[in-house]
Amino acid sequence: MTEPTILRASAELRYREELERLRAADKDQRPAGWRLSPRAVRRFILGDAALDVGRKFYGDDPLVDRAIVTLMGHQGLMLVGEPGTAKSLLSELLSAAISGDSALTIQGTAGTTEDHIKYSWNYALLLAEGPSLRAMVPSPLYQAMVAGRIVRFEEITRCPPEIQDVMISLMSEKQIMVPELGEQARVHAQRGFNVIATANLRDRGVHEMSSALKRRFNFETVRPIRDHDFEVELVMQQVKRDLDGAGLGAQVRVERDIVALLVTTFQELRAGQTREGTAIKTPDTVMSTAEAVNVAYAAALEATYFGNGQLTPREIANQLQGVVLKDNADDLKRVQHYFDTVARERARRDSNWKAFCDAARSLWP
């Protein structure tokens, strides 16, 4: 059991009991360096009722199969998609199931350097003792190579091209050269090593990957959820889990109709079309399932601490501001247009939509 004060434990800690049950029941062949067989990894991610293992990734099941197969081969796995489509979650789950460690992660930024990818030095020890393994500060990728584990490279396209291309030889040759160590200069990757990288489609054009680096990866696109009822159920489950984790599950009532209203709004703004087929303007801000969960959870907290414990459209509208009012003033006009046309029409025949429209007026002057 993890301590209740931990805000978010890693996947291998959150699901430790499930992983132990899967490993005890796993009779299938395991690739070298893997803690679970490919079938058991799949069951961990997509669920297994017989072993009381819950589903953790919702969407394209064949994508999960292809991702697992990729990680058994020589290519790395590149997960691309819109923000909030659970790319990082899938990366974490795969790493936890295959390696038992999802913490070997490089976060791609404009400030990521070659040292973050390969290794750096403890300069006090370096000056005192000279180059040695003790003076080295190994990167997550270096550690993954030595241990034969999965390394995660988040937001790789946020790195400058010259830093991205450091990965080309590392992924081709599966080794790191450390010239300062002399005879110990060559570090070979052990079986089980591979790379899972993620990239947002919204970042396309920020730092385009070179064709040479792209060839080192198999690309899989993680798409938004399109099924309305399925997304409603997913948001309900996640909000309930978050409320239970905060010890508030019994103090707030979250009705399905209210969550459905939120999901409908997000899906229509995301798609640029209403369920009746009317074209609408799509905001630039991310209207993902993950954002919908954040809005619903924040609204439930508002209902708990400032309301009567009943989640209503008013709290949903209040928390919608955090999604709409980010960095593009035009998004406010687009959402206002949605409420002035689509939502207002529905408000004439639905009390929840009426309350939603009335409360949403606070989003704009």
Using CA atoms, how far apart are residues 224 and 271, in angstroms rounded to an integer?
10
Question: Residue 127, Cα to own-chain centre: how many angstroms?
Answer: 41
Q: What is the mean pLDDT of the chain?
A: 91
What angle do helix axes 87-99 and 38-46 make, rounded to 10 degrees?
140
Under 8 Å between Cβ of 262 and 323 = no
Q: Residues 318-332, buried b or exposed e (16+ Cβ, 10 A)?
A: bbbbebbeeeeeebb
Average pLDDT over residues 349-360: 92
Across 207-231, average pLDDT: 92
The Cα–Cα gap between 334 and 337 comes to 5
Structure confidence at residue 206 as a pLDDT band (50, 70, 90): low
Q: Measuring CA to CA, how many Å separate 26 from each of 18, 43, 148?
A: 12, 10, 20
Instruction: Examine the pLDDT at 59 and tell me if it is beyond 90.
Output: no
Q: Is 186 helix (H, G, I), strand (E, B) or coil?
A: strand
Per-residue pLDDT at 2 exceeds 60: no
Dist CA 192 CA 189 (whole Å): 8
∠ Cα 133 138 139 (to 5°): 170
pLDDT, tens digit (0-9, with 9 covering 90-100), for 164-184: 999 999 999 999 999 988 877
The H-or-E segment that residue 80 falls in is strand 76-81
Q: Which residue has the tokens 């360096």?
A: 33
Has residue 203 got a pLDDT over 70? no
pLDDT of residue 1: 43
User: Which pLDDT band, with edges at 50, 70 and 90, does 8 fall under?
Assistant: confident
Greater confidence, 324 or 272?
272
Say whether pLDDT at 113 is over 80: yes
Mean pLDDT to the nearest integer, 253-261: 95
Where are the domains positioned within the chain? Answer: 72-221, 228-363
Asked if pLDDT for residue 283 goes beyond 70, the answer is yes
Q: Is 339 left (phi over 0), alpha (psi -120 to 50) or beta?
A: alpha
Q: What is the mean pLDDT of residues 157-161?
A: 92
The architecture of the domain spanning 72-221 is 3-Layer(aba) Sandwich (3.40)
**How remote is the C-alpha of 256 from its chain's centroid?**
25
* 116-128 average pLDDT score: 94
CA nearest 81: which of 262, 288, 283, 285? Answer: 288
Point out the least confidently predicted range of 156-160, 169-173, 329-333, 353-357: 329-333
Say which range, 34-48, 78-92, 174-188, has the weakest mean pLDDT.
Answer: 174-188
The proportion of the chain whose per-residue pLDDT surpasses 90, expressed as a percent, equals 74
Contacts by 247-252, CB closer than 8 A, 24 or more apart: 248/300, 248/301, 248/304, 251/304, 251/309, 252/300, 252/303, 252/304, 252/309, 252/310, 252/311
pLDDT class of 10 with cuts at 50, 70, 90: very high
CB 355 within 8 A of CB 310: no
**Percentage of residues of the chain with pLDDT beyond 70:** 96
Comparing 58 with 95, the larger pLDDT belongs to 95
More confident residue, 182 or 262: 262
4 secondary structure, DSSP code: T
- 56-69: average pLDDT: 93
**Pairwise CA distance, residues 48 & 41, whole Å:** 11
Residue-level pLDDT at 365: 59
Residues comprising the chain, all counted: 365
pLDDT interval class at 3 (50, 70, 90): very low
Q: What average pLDDT does this structure show over 130-134? A: 90
119 vs 117: CA distance, rounded Å: 7
Range 112-117 contact pairs with CB under 8 angstroms and sequence separation of 24 or more: 112/158, 112/159, 112/160, 112/163, 113/163, 114/163, 114/166, 115/139, 117/141, 117/163, 117/166, 117/167, 117/170
> What local confidence, expressed as pLDDT, does residue 84 receive?
83
